[in-house]
Structure 1
Amino acid sequence: MQPPAREALAKARRSAIHLETRDSYMLDDPAFIAWQNGRRLDITDRSSWWNGWHDHVAAAVSRGVTVRRARVVSEPLHPYALYEYDLTPGNLAAGEAVRWLGRRHAVDLLLPATDFWVFDDETVLFHHFTGEGQLAAEGREYRTDPDLAKALTAAFEAVWDRAIPHTEYTPAI
């Protein structure tokens, strides 16, 4: 399997964009199960939620890399998307910008069929998931293709322009 996004993020020089299009991922994740059982992020207790991903984002941002994530979601939100919503203050604290777009507001956008990252407008990382939201056996696929990166960046920007910043987004439940 190809290396995770954090390795490409560590090499990024200018930008990293991530489009998420699924309503749920890895429903057997112990952290998600704990959230379903009432465990919530205490943003004031950084040691309880800060992890390696946050370190990678913070390091990239400190190098001048702009890190943005857009989520296209069904509304009302699936419980997993609500879980992601509750965790997003950690992403923001690390330096990511995160926006949300209800799927009904994206019906006229041409979007890829899978989640992706684009690093520095040249390296693309696709994430391939099973129907159950698990990372598939061939889960990560890297491509270095400027034309593909340009098309995916255009799709991301179309979502970003319509999406609502996390701090202004009220999830439909």
Structure 2
Amino acid sequence: METVPVPSFGELISGARRSAVHLEMRDVYDPGSRRFAAWRAGHRENPADREGWWSPFHQVIADSVTRGVQVRRARVVSEPLSEYVRFEYDVTFSNIAAGEQVRWLARRRASDLALPVNDFWVFDDRLVRLSHFAGDGTFVEDELTEDPAIVKLCLESFEQVWERALDHHDFHPA
């Protein structure tokens, strides 16, 4: 696979003109994050207190959506949800407030889908950022490719998941 240096996520999404799609398939991410630690300690973010949770990530998404970029995120999840994915579910209102469309697919409903082994973003149907994580959910590195076969695989996989997945407002974890 041909790889190139990986610009920051902000640079990649800021360069998008039409679309950015993201497929997540892990049960844990960044287990040491402060936001997750606060949630584990009982803190729940108030959607009405935007200053309390709005971040540079949310702003770059909002700016992209304002420019006309459609941002979609699909999550393939184990049930019952892991503690970390339960946290993600609870804070997804912030992704939606920034302008993302978010859907959830129970892993048991994806058994017949051939999915890439890594989470990814695809920008404008041409550029893929593959994300590599350690077994405990700690981020390792990103990899960028425009390889047509990988782009095609990721786009087809995303669309298959998207078609089956439930909108965030319709997904009610057990």
1:41 correspondence with 2:40? no
Q: 1:107 aligns with which of 85, 107, 111?
A: 111
Quote the RMSD (CA, aligned, Å).
1.0
TM-score, normalised to structure 2's length? 0.95
CA separation in 2, counterparts of 1:109 and 1:56?
31
Between the aligned residues of both structures, percent identity stands at 50
Aligned match of 1:169: 171
- The count of residues paired between Structure 1 and Structure 2 equals 170
Identify unmatched segments of 5+ residues in structure 2: none
CA separation in 2, counterparts of 1:4 and 1:129?
17
1:5, CA displacement in angstroms?
2.1
1:78 correspondence with 2:74? no
Aligned match of 2:26: 22
1:145, CA displacement in angstroms?
2.3
CA separation in 1, counterparts of 2:59 and 2:148?
28
Aligned match of 1:156: 158
Q: SS of 1:101's equivalent?
A: strand
Q: 1:2 aligns with which of 2, 6, 9?
A: 6
1:28, CA displacement in angstroms?
1.4
1:85, CA displacement in angstroms?
0.5
TM-score, normalised to structure 1's length? 0.95
Q: What amino acid does structure 1 have at the position aligned with 2:45? A: L
Q: What amino acid does structure 2 have at the position aligned with 1:62? A: T
CA separation in 1, counterparts of 2:63 and 2:78?
32
